[in-house]
Amino acid sequence: MSKKMFSFVGLLMALVLGLVSCTPAATTTPAPATVPPVTVPPATVPTNTVIIPTVDPMVQLVDAAKAEGTIVSYGLPDSWVNYGGLFQGFTAMYGITHQDTDMDSGTIISTLEAEKSAPVADITDLGLAFAKLVEDDGLSQPYMNSHWSEIPDYAKDPQGRWSAAYYGVMAFLVNADKVTNVPQTWSDLAKPEYAGTVCMKDPRSSATAQMTVLAAAFANGGNETNVQPGLDYFKTLIDGKVLNGVSPSAANIQKGECPITLQWDFDALSNKDQNPNMSLKVVIPSDGTVAGMYIQFATAGAPHPNAAKLLLEYEYSDAGQLAFAQGFVHPIRTSVQLPADLLAKFPPASAYSAVHFPTNYAALDQASIAIADGWAVINP
């Protein structure tokens, strides 16, 4: 090769090497083994971002309630609307023990008031007429259970201070062995043939009896803001000696001392269920009656607040609503399906077509006072 040719080849090689050295590194495809890990540029992740793991609030509530280990109630004995069965299921599910002191509504309120500085009870159950007092005196703490949206507006406080898990309906329990013609209406009861047959509690001391008078008021054109028609109706019964002066109980119903008893349908149905050998009939008066809702709440300053809230969750769950129905009350959640054998123990749905739901709980509070005062006038 001539020197000239060698020089040309050398020049060509130098030019090629120069071009290679000037090519950007990014155009070079490295072998797969040399590819570095992909990293996110720091600018895409804010330096102040904190990733918090999601925790189920119900799991937290269950753990906290289990740690408390017990729940204390006022006025929830085993015999009342199947609270015994409800607490049995609650304890079996969560291992939380239960202690109750049986009290009537007035005693519950006065005890909660007296214990404000050192609360003892975690939870209770009262008639709707006490809702305003609960609110005004700050006796509860707000809590909205996980089924809150299914509870009708008239059965709950917008601030979560109380809600009603169930209701009863005022009815007649009739011993058909003692009463030939079973009355179907309040108007029927005023007939002379029923003289001396009707038992009811005293409205001056019984919230149930006050609701009985209110039911008669609705049947005669009144309501929770106008109870006079109910008082006038019972004045007719008193004058006609229809009331026999006996305060109803399971014992005197069994003995036949109360041919006709005015009471909640759940009490009447329970009496019927416990006395299968008696010819007891449960009548929902077709000319009008009332539903009575019962409210539940965690007490203000509850010593075991998480257990109280967990019990509220259980009361409104399918299992809790079914437990109440087994005590013959009506679950507030209409989506809960009752077993056919249990549903068959209730009067047919058509029997409840004339039921009124008093929802003005402030008026109910005043109605209770008006009925008690009015009864002293018509039955001194």
Whole-number average pLDDT of the chain = 89
The pLDDT of 202-212, averaged and rounded, is: 94
Q: Is the pLDDT of residue 30 over 80?
A: no
Q: Is the pLDDT of residue 327 over 80?
A: yes
Q: Which of 53, 25, 361, 23 is nearest to 211 (CA)?
A: 361
pLDDT band at 48 (very low <50, low <70, confident <90, very high): low
**What was the pLDDT predicted at 55?**
80
Q: Can you list the domains of the chain with their CATH numbers?
A: 57-167+292-347 (3.40.190.10), 168-291+360-378 (3.40.190.10)
Q: Is the pLDDT of residue 2 over 80?
A: no
**What was the pLDDT predicted at 54?**
76
**What was the pLDDT predicted at 46?**
56
Lowest mean per-residue pLDDT among 35-49, 76-90, 214-228 = 35-49
**What was the pLDDT predicted at 143?**
98
**What was the pLDDT predicted at 49?**
62
Interval 163-201: pLDDT, tens: 999 999 999 999 999 999 999 999 999 999 999 999 999
**What was the pLDDT predicted at 51?**
64
The CA distances from residue 204 to 33, 209, 241, 289, in Å, are: 92, 8, 19, 20
Q: Is the pLDDT of residue 214 over 80?
A: yes
Interval 332-351: pLDDT, tens: 999 999 999 999 999 999 99
The pLDDT of 122-134, averaged and rounded, is: 95
Q: Is the pLDDT of residue 299 over 50?
A: yes
CA atoms of 214 and 295, how far apart (whole Å): 19
